[in-house]
A and B are shown apart, each in its own frame.
Chain A
Amino acid sequence: MENFFDVKGSIVQAYIVCKRQAWLLSRNIGPSPDNPFLEIGKLISQEYYKHDKKEVYFDGVVLDLIRHENEVLLVGEIKKSSRSKNAAMTQLKFYLYKLFKNNINARGKLLIPEEKKTFDVVLSFDDIRDIESLIEEILEFLSRSSPPEPQKIKACSKCSYKEFCWA
């Protein structure tokens, strides 16, 4: 299948939480810019970890943070809360996969500064297989000509697409 769409970290993350959001993101239909939760998220990633290298562009994705720890590259993903922890872990594994494909060995760390929590993430051989099939699945899904209809889920309450979806 021809790749019309760039699978980005945000799309992987969205795909797990809300497929509709992933579809919209693939068409560059971004969220409402003035959603307060979005602004809080932006502030959190600005204000914490000022000593680290942040927003590093690599092979079509943007890594929130990188740092060297014990001679190994550490990739950090900063989140506001642990609400969608699983999706964030997969997003991080997707980044590790991208690095692995470029022969860079790295570890991942999910950072939730406001909750004073961190979670270590490593990429196993099983993960590589899972990520590859997930990317295939996402590409197939994105090629649909219209997004799935909105569905009220838990994530809707603070979602920056709320007004768009329910307008």
Chain B
Amino acid sequence: MKKPVYIFSDGVLKRKNNTLFFESEGVQKFIPVENTSEIYIFGEVDLNKRFLEFLTQSEIILHFFNRYGYYVGSFYPREYLNSGYMILKQAEHYLDLQKRLTLAKAFVKGAYKNMKQVLKYYQSRGIDSLDRYIQQMDNQFESISGIDSIATLMAIEGNIRQTYYSSFDLIIDDDNFKFEKRTKRPPRNAINTLISFGNSMMYTIVLSEIYRTHLDPRIGYLHSTNFRRFTLNLDVAEIFKPIIIDRLIFSIISKNMLKPEHFEEDFEGMLLKDEAKKMFINELEQRLSTTITVKNIGNHVSYRQLIRIELYKIEKHLMGEKEYDPYVTQW
């Protein structure tokens, strides 16, 4: 099974013979190209065109993060699974407002249902006061059916998410990790920093999976396409953020795996130190490789495969084969 490679140190990445090679302060390491699905770069790394050509040939994406842990961008190699047919179908569903709304609403529905499942899970573990938030989210979601504009839909999605986030302090219940409110660019406290980092990871994971399908990541439905940046990955990530990232954050905090020392304050906001990023990614990888049972496909489907299956479901919707019904977790 191919695996992602994470690079935190500074150094040089290059092609050596027919494989990948990383050199850093006297340490030399071969990275087997056959076993690498994608590469995440957090350190300062030099690379050249020959290396990028080799990545294209090997169909490996490169994701860059800056030293604050913010996503910079990706080297998305030339598409190798081209289907003009699928691109036209994707565009058709974007240009026709009714078709676009159908898909955009499905993403909002999937996100809402999974956020609700997270709250229900903690409710079943004794946090009774979450019921109020679930009720409120239900009310907010109800108005979605009559909506005929993407902007209004986005606003409702925002409201639901706000309600959901405002329950976080009840779930976490740790003075070191007070949520208070969602702050981005920059995140102002530890928990917001974790959410931002986790969401960025989720966006790149979905992007990596899109690369292995016939879909074009530039044509999204809920998030506006502006033809320059990737948006389809943002749409699909909405569904998985609550069940993968948020659950992961709650779990590492409750296991006391994070200490205030893992964070540093900066004029750029609150930053996560490398050690904590590594731990987070480790836990994330474990979660993604956890297998579950999925109807029709059977046992042993990992969460990572589940994301790919979600993309196939979207392809089938675009082809007119089967209406897209977003994945909702059944804990």
Chain A residues with CB under 8 Å of chain B are: 27-30, 32-34, 146-147, 149, 162-164, 166-167
A163 with B308: in contact, given A30-B214, A34-B2, A34-B212 (CB under 8 Å)? yes
Q: Which of B23-31, B46-54, B83-91, B282-290 contacts A (4 or more CB under 8 A)?
A: B83-91
User: Which residues of B sit under 8 angstroms from A167, Cβ to Cβ?
Assistant: 296-297, 309-310, 312-313, 316
Among the listed B59, B85, B297, B319, which residue makes an inter-chain contact with A163, where contact means beta carbons less than 8 Å apart?
A: B297
In the bound complex, do residue B297 and residue A147 qualify as a contact, i.e. CB atoms below 8 Å apart? no
In the bound complex, do residue A32 and residue B214 qualify as a contact, i.e. CB atoms below 8 Å apart? no
- In the complex, whether B81 has a CB less than 8 A from a CB of chain A is yes
User: Which residues of A sit under 8 angstroms from B146, Cβ to Cβ?
Assistant: none
User: Which residues of A sit under 8 angstroms from B251, Cβ to Cβ?
Assistant: none
- In the complex, whether B321 has a CB less than 8 A from a CB of chain A is yes
A166 with B321: in contact, given A28-B82, A28-B214, A33-B81 (CB under 8 Å)? no
In the bound complex, do residue B319 and residue A162 qualify as a contact, i.e. CB atoms below 8 Å apart? no
Q: Shortest beta-carbon distance, B33 to chain A, in Å?
A: 13
User: Which residues of B sit under 8 angstroms from A163, Cβ to Cβ?
Assistant: 297, 305, 308-309, 312
Among the listed B83, B305, B312, which residue makes an inter-chain contact with A27, where contact means beta carbons less than 8 Å apart?
A: B83
Q: Residue on A with the closest CB to B59? A: A33
In the bound complex, do residue A147 and residue B214 qualify as a contact, i.e. CB atoms below 8 Å apart? no
Among the listed B2, B59, B86, B308, which residue makes an inter-chain contact with A32, where contact means beta carbons less than 8 Å apart?
A: B308
Q: Residue on B with the closest CB to A27? A: B85
- In the complex, whether B315 has a CB less than 8 A from a CB of chain A is yes
Question: What are 5 A-B interface contacts by the 8 Å CB criterion?
Answer: A27-B83, A29-B85, A29-B315, A33-B212, A146-B319
In the bound complex, do residue B85 and residue A28 qualify as a contact, i.e. CB atoms below 8 Å apart? yes
User: Which residues of A sit under 8 angstroms from B320, Cβ to Cβ?
Assistant: 146
Bound: A31/B2 CA distance, A = 17
Write out, one digit per residue, whether chain B residues 312-331 have a CB within 8 A of any chain A CB (1) or not (0): 11011001110000000000
Bound: A153/B73 CA distance, A = 43
Q: Shortest beta-carbon distance, B80 to chain A, in Å?
A: 8
Q: Shortest beta-carbon distance, B16 to chain A, in Å?
A: 21
Size category, B interface? 20 to 34
In the bound complex, do residue B81 and residue A30 qualify as a contact, i.e. CB atoms below 8 Å apart? yes
The 3 closest A-B pairs by CB, nearest first: A27-B85, A167-B312, A28-B83
In the bound complex, do residue B296 and residue A166 qualify as a contact, i.e. CB atoms below 8 Å apart? yes
User: Which residues of A sit under 8 angstroms from B308, Cβ to Cβ?
Assistant: 32, 163
Write out, one digit per residue, whether chain B residues 185-219 have a CB within 8 A of any chain A CB (1) or not (0): 00000000000000000000000000010100000
Q: Shortest beta-carbon distance, A151 to chain B, in Å?
A: 13
User: Which residues of B sit under 8 angstroms from A149, Cβ to Cβ?
Assistant: 321
Known contacts A28-B82, A30-B81; 13 further A-B pairs (Cβ under 8 A): A27-B85, A28-B81, A28-B86, A29-B86, A30-B214, A33-B80, A34-B37, A147-B319, A163-B309, A163-B312, A164-B312, A167-B296, A167-B313
Write out, one digit per residue, whether chain B residues 274-310 have a CB within 8 A of any chain A CB (1) or not (0): 0000000000000000000000110000000100111
A146 with B59: in contact, given A29-B214, A34-B2, A164-B312 (CB under 8 Å)? no
Q: Shortest beta-carbon distance, B60 to chain A, in Å?
A: 12
In the bound complex, do residue A27 and residue B86 qualify as a contact, i.e. CB atoms below 8 Å apart? yes
Q: Residue on A with the closest CB to B322? A: A167
Bound: A139/B321 CA distance, A = 21
Q: Residue on B with the closest CB to A30? A: B81
User: Which residues of B sit under 8 angstroms from A33, Cβ to Cβ?
Assistant: 59, 80-81, 212
User: Which residues of A sit under 8 angstroms from B309, Cβ to Cβ?
Assistant: 163, 167
User: Which residues of B sit under 8 angstroms from A29, Cβ to Cβ?
Assistant: 83, 85-86, 214, 315
User: Which residues of B sit under 8 angstroms from A147, Cβ to Cβ?
Assistant: 319, 321
Q: Shortest beta-carbon distance, B306 to chain A, in Å?
A: 10
Q: Residue on A with the closest CB to B312? A: A167
User: Which residues of A sit under 8 angstroms from B296, Cβ to Cβ?
Assistant: 166-167
Bound: A147/B297 CA distance, A = 20
Q: Residue on B with the closest CB to A161? A: B312
